[in-house]
Structure 1
Amino acid sequence: MYEGYGVDEVRTPLERFGEALRDARELRPAGKLSQTELARRAKTSKSTISRIERAVPPIPSHLPALFDQIFETDGLFKRLYEEAVAQTFPALYRRRMALEREAIAVWEWSPTIVPGLFQTGAYARVLFRNSDRRASEDEITASVGSRLARQDLLRGAAPPDVRLVLCESAIRNRIGSPEVMRDQLAALLGMAERPTTQVQVLPLDSEAHLLNDGAITLLTSPSHVTVACVEAFRTAGIIDDPHHVRIAQSAYNELTSEALSPRESASLLREQMESL
């Protein structure tokens, strides 16, 4: 049902989501739902439903799945939500987001901070606030929501195989208050307990390596093609040349060999939590 609603490409993804929700609510075969009744069923507020239908961001990340359940729309709202989230990122990041959503394997390395795919809301909020002092609270909230929405791929029925290697400085750098950091480290520990996720820490006294210069993400598609995503200040790039990707994969494998084991890394994360 409702597969044809909100497909006008002139509209923004937020507008298409809002239109699809309004149509689903008003044209529901079992009877029209008011905004108040939908809010009750979705355990949210009428003002939130009204705001979403008017295409005012953000869309709370837990609502699309509930809308699909309520209206039996077979993932329509999830797909529209993913489009809306992708649209919030600059164009140079959108291809990366699309590749990330489809990936069967995600390998991350970060020398300074916890990568976005693994951040808590509070940790992400501090980073967004520090990166743009002029941003309003609504803008910061929307950015945090978009970042957290990326983590849906880790919670799906068939999550990718994830490997995360963090430099020790990333878990010792104080981002926000001690409570923010404790919660972030606890989140990493929770992720490390998932059968499809491996978290390792590279000690500060490790030798120099090819990936010293910055963060990198290796994404492998269902067709087993891997690309390397790199980021620098206000820019990002995707490397798909097979030769360069193989070099990056080899360097990443060396990192995992030099890093603490997953068990040792978990112990270090706990020690750092206790020291805060």
Structure 2
Amino acid sequence: MARVRHSSGMTQAKVAGRLGYTKGFISQLECGWKRLDASKVRVLDDFLGAESRLVRLYEELYAPEQLDWQERLHLFQASAELIRQYSCVLVPGNFQTKGYAEAAFAAGAPWLKRKQIEGRATNRIERAARVMGDDGPQYHVVLDDMVVLRPIAENAVMREQVEALIGLATSGRVQLQLYDWGTLPHSGPDGAFSLITSPSAPEVLHAESVYLGQMTDEPQMVRGFVSLFSRLQANARSAKESVAYLRQVIRKYEDDESALAQVDLQRWGT
């Protein structure tokens, strides 16, 4: 709130007069000692020309029960024109196959029962279908080699997932690049993130941890991650080289599967 007020050239006294508060109350708001009444948030946002930034931040801070973070992310993605995304551990949710999604939930939350895992995976696939429709956003994606090299499920599931990535990469809808294992310096070891560009809102940064996703449209932070993504793109394999590499990875899972089948045959003496 204070940053937006300063950038708009407004004083605390002017904001207080517009909202019907004292200057001291506005100071306490900006220090985090008081909470702004929900009915005043939109008025403040419009008065400071924040383009809904303060509204979204207020909802994220004080009304998380209204919408879980994954649903908020989905809504931003569905209305986007362009999504730039980096992942260093898992295939992004919108690109996951059903089998891969189930394996990811089972591995990350082993306390879930089978029906819960299936339900979450189904929900993820349905959300992804809405984002990945014909009128959905363009995608520029950089995946660390670890994403496809480290299996989270049996070979058949991994092979199907890699094949799905190739299909997306060759469809013209997704610009997919793989970041070579040995490339130094590595610009993306701190975790997955995405930059979401929409026609009616400022660009949003979404940084994801294991259990939580956080969003911000603070300009300096967004610019920093735009620069980071550009560096990741520049150092990654080209889109064409990435597809060729993914085809090599498929052969790896096929060869491993054949080797395992041979072991089973020898074990049973046939």
Shared fold (TM-score, shorter chain, > 0.5): yes
Offset from partner CA, 1:93-132 (integer Å, 9 cap, x none)? 3322211111111111001111111111001101111122
Residue from 128, 133, 136 that aligns with 2:110: 133
Distance 1:176 1:90 in 2: 30
Letter in structure 1 aligned against 2:147:
A
Distance of aligned partners of 1:244 and 1:125 in 2 relative to their CA distance in 1, 3 Å threshold = same
Instruction: Map 1:212-231 onto structure 2 (within 5 A).
Output: 212-223=189-200, 225-231=202-208
Distance 1:142 1:198 in 2: 30
Query: Normalization by structure 1: what TM-score?
Result: 0.65
4+ residue runs over 4 A deviation:
87-90
Structure with the higher helix share, 1 or 2: 2
Distance 1:252 1:269 in 2: 21
Q: Which residue of 2 aligns with 1:211?
A: 188
Q: Which residue of 1 aligns with 2:166?
A: 189
What percent of counterpart residues are identical? 28
Distance of aligned partners of 1:138 and 1:89 in 2 relative to their CA distance in 1, 3 Å threshold = farther
Instruction: Map 1:4-153 onto structure 2 (within 5 A).
Output: 91-153=68-130
Letter in structure 1 aligned against 2:121:
V
Question: Is residue 240 from structure 1 mapped to residue 217 from structure 2 by the alignment?
Answer: yes
Q: Which residue of 2 aligns with 1:174?
A: 151
Give the 3-state SS of the residue equivalent to 1:237 in structure 2: strand
Distance of aligned partners of 1:180 and 1:206 in 2 relative to their CA distance in 1, 3 Å threshold = same
Deviation for aligned residue 1:205: 1.0
Give the 3-state SS of the residue equivalent to 2:234 in structure 1: helix
Distance 1:90 1:211 in 2: 29
Residue from 209, 225, 236 that aligns with 1:259: 236
Distance of aligned partners of 1:100 and 1:88 in 2 relative to their CA distance in 1, 3 Å threshold = farther
Across the two proteins, how many residue pairs are aligned to each other?
A: 190
Offset from partner CA, 1:127-160 (integer Å, 9 cap, x none)? 1111222322221111001111122234423121
Give the 3-state SS of the residue equivalent to 1:183 in structure 2: helix
Give the 3-state SS of the residue equivalent to 1:225 in structure 2: strand
Query: Normalization by structure 2: what TM-score?
Result: 0.66
| Structural RMSD (CA) | 2.0
Q: Which residue of 1 aligns with 2:49?
A: none
Structure 2, unpaired ranges of 5+: 1-63, 254-270
Structure 1, unpaired ranges of 5+: 1-86
